[in-house]
């Protein structure tokens, strides 16, 4: 729950965060939305700028993260602009907790 609240605050303030997903490695991301998926999972849509990825050739790019699989989280001081391709009116955000 603490991570969820910190992500909500990061989205509201457009602040970059560092996270470790599934214990695989650290990533710097710009979280744009947190929402409940159709399967009931709490997901984050974020624009990954750097760090670990199984798709190194596709950074920067959009990533989706299941909040339950975030193993470490750190707020960063840097802010970000809305990333290209972000659509706040997307149907997947019909159960948004918060979004830009």
- Helix (H), strand (E), coil (C) string for 36-65: ECCCCCEEEEEEEEEECCCCHHHCCEEEEE
Identify the pLDDT of residue 23: 95
* C-beta separation of 1 from 73 below 8 A: no
Q: Where are the domains of the chain?
A: 2-99
- CATH architecture, range 2-99: Roll (2.30)
**pTM across the whole model:** 0.94
pLDDT in tens, 13-43: 999 999 999 999 999 999 999 999 999 999 9
Percentage, residues of the chain above pLDDT 70: 99
């Amino acid at each position: 729950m603490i991570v969820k609240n910190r992500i909500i605050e990061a989205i509201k303030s457009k602040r970059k965060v560092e996270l470790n997903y599934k214990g695989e490695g650290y990533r710097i991301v710009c979280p744009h939305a947190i929402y409940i998926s159709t399967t009931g999972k709490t997901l984050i849509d974020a624009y990954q700028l750097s760090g670990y990825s199984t798709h190194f050739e596709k950074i920067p790019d959009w990533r989706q993260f299941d909040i339950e699989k975030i193993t470490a989280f750190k707020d960063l001081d840097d802010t970000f602009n809305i990333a290209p391709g972000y659509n706040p009116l997307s149907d997947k955000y019909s159960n948004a907790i918060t979004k830009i």
